Chains A and B, each alone.
Chain A
Amino acid sequence: MEGGRKLFGTERLKRGFASMCKGGVIMDVTNPEQARIAEEAGAVAVMALEAVPADLRRAGGVARMADPARIKEIMDAVSIPVMAKCRIGHFAEAQVLEALGVDMIDESEVLTPADEECHVDKRKFRVPFVCGARDLGEALRRIHEGAAMIRTKGEAGTGNIVEAVRHIRLTLRQIEELKKLNRKGLEEKAREYRVPVELVREVARLGRLPVVWFCAGGIATPADASLVMQFGVDGVFVGSGIFKSSDPPRMARAIVEATRHYDDPEAVLRASWNLPSPMRGTDLRALKPEELLHTRGV
């Protein structure tokens, strides 16, 4: 009874890791104490940050990868997976995060992009990546670069779900359109999206993205989680929504329950009942174009 040669970092291991997160909530945390609260509440993973998007937004300046020492404290504090963010195209930050041993890297528009031309070549890494996408073309470009998981971009740090809903609707509509296309139509779409035609064909055949698809950006309440799960995403990232609320443990548990029982209004009702006040939130129309994060890295 002996195992043979071990293979590491295969596509199956990367996408498989993302599959294990399905139906779950991934929570932004900034210290070991918050990470333990998230684990206790039933988070499937935590995203280790130095500041949540709402605070990054307020602080301004250049937002970079978190201090590895802070991420390590969080890795040591919990047994669930720990993810961390690198800047778009900043493969050196990604290398540092891989060397540190984080379980998944988020190449994120929440940080200030490092490369306006290229994203990280994610196939070179053993650790899986998640990337943001506002539409099908972006999603497929990221998958082609090696992303094992796609998430909507939403508009992080606003507590406003409108942008994430826009990304979900658009992506779903574009997948529906693909399903109606003939061979020639699919080839044209592949050119338009700048990806190999095999990838476009795969999406048309599956009727969905070939990797796990999460919603991120703007989820602030249990009903927000239920809304996006009913649209058909596989799970949710909650950033500022938990630790910017007045009672994080309760909000965390409520969002986990609502994500699981998203199609049961009675359960979402119970999860929503008499909750602590959610984060205040921002009307996106009040933001200047240069303040928008979702337009970064297409």
Chain B
Amino acid sequence: MRIGVLGLQGAVSEHLASLRKAMKALGLKGEAVWVSRRKDLEGLEGLILPGGESTTIGRLMVSTGLFEEVREEARGGLPVMGTCAGLILLAKEGDEEVRRTGQPLLGLMDMKVVRNAFGRQRESFEAEVRVEGLRGGPFRGVFIRAPAVERVWGEARALAEVEGRIVGVRQGKLLALSFHPELTEDTRMHEYFLELCRGGPGASP
């Protein structure tokens, strides 16, 4: 299988490394590839939108033409996992900050996001997070100037919360996380996504 990581800006190599480890853990044959041009999307069975600066990634997606292309592919059923900035990009609605910066949103998931929901870098934190449907106990959540989801509707379902705020959402084959699984050694979130890409157990909402 071939899984891509949108490589315009941010923590790209970390996701590639986590994907390779997760594939190995699941005994899957496959490759994890860097996506920075439209042609890199060909033949992908899944795509990760990494963390970074959402305004930067959004603008570069527009200038490279990847914005329209990724939206079309995802609407056509391509599984997508967004972490941190990636979560913002997946949302249908953003808060005032998102609107002020003219942040382009892919609008794929029925949720409203709040940028920097927990504060600035000084308030960035690590905490154990219980993720619904994830086997093996809580996941170490690394939250860096993290966004949160204010509310979900329609097909979207909250999978995880911290201090009463939604930090994980699933909608069909789309998965959005406020935290950074790629910054930990634990590959269970990536395995979860790979299972979803294979249409395996738990792939339906």
Which A residues are closer than 8 A to B by beta carbons? 1-10, 12-13, 16-17, 19-24, 39-40, 42-45, 75, 79-81, 98, 101-104, 126-128, 256-257, 260-261
Contacts and interface: CB of A to CB of B under 8 A. Distances in A.
Given A2-B161, A22-B10, 9 more contacts: A3-B163, A4-B127, A19-B10, A20-B10, A22-B13, A42-B60, A79-B100, A79-B115, A103-B145
B204 interface: no
A210 to B, nearest CB: 13
A20 B160 contact: no
Contacts of B51: 19-20
B142 A13 contact: yes
Contacts of B126: 6-7, 10, 12-13
B125 A8 contact: yes
B23 to A, nearest CB: 22
B128 interface: yes
Contacts of B85: 20
A33 B9 CA distance: 24
Contacts of A103: 120-122, 145
A224 B124 CA distance: 33
A139 to B, nearest CB: 19
Interface in B46-81: 51-53, 55-56, 59-60, 63
Ordered nearest first, which 7 A-B pairs have the shortest CB separation?
Answer: A3-B162, A103-B121, A4-B128, A3-B127, A23-B9, A6-B125, A44-B53
A141 B115 CA distance: 35
Contacts, number: 139
Contacts of B7: 23
Contacts of B141: 3
A90 to B, nearest CB: 19
Interface string B129-173: 110100000100110110000000000001011110000000000
Interface size class of B (residues with CB under 8 A): 35 or more
B122 A127 contact: yes
B141 to A, nearest CB: 7
Contact of B142 (A1, A16, A257, A260): A16
Contacts of B120: 75, 81, 101-103
B19 to A, nearest CB: 16
Given A3-B161, A44-B52, A101-B120, A24 B9 contact: yes
Contacts of A19: 10-11, 14, 51, 183
Interface string B30-50: 000000100000000000000
B190 interface: no
Nearest to A1: B161
User: For B125, B132, B158, which residue has the most chain A Cβ atoms within 10 angstroms?
Assistant: B125
26 contacts: A1-B130, A1-B160, A3-B127, A4-B127, A4-B128, A8-B125, A12-B183, A13-B124, A16-B11, A19-B10, A20-B51, A20-B84, A21-B53, A23-B9, A39-B55, A40-B102, A44-B53, A75-B120, A79-B115, A79-B116, A81-B145, A104-B121, A126-B122, A128-B121, A260-B9, A261-B36
A62 B170 CA distance: 55
A260 B7 CA distance: 9
Nearest to A43: B56
Given A3-B128, A20-B53, A98 B11 contact: no
A13 B121 CA distance: 8
Contact of B129 (A3, A21, A23): A3
User: For A6, A75, A103, A261, which residue has the most chain B Cβ atoms within 10 angstroms?
Assistant: A6
B130 A101 contact: no
B175 interface: no
Contacts of B194: none
Contacts of A8: 122-125
Nearest to A75: B120
User: For B126, B141, B184, which residue has the most chain A Cβ atoms within 10 angstroms?
Assistant: B126
A98 B120 CA distance: 11
B8 interface: yes
Nearest to B103: A79
A39 B128 contact: no
Contact of A127 (B11, B53, B121, B163): B121
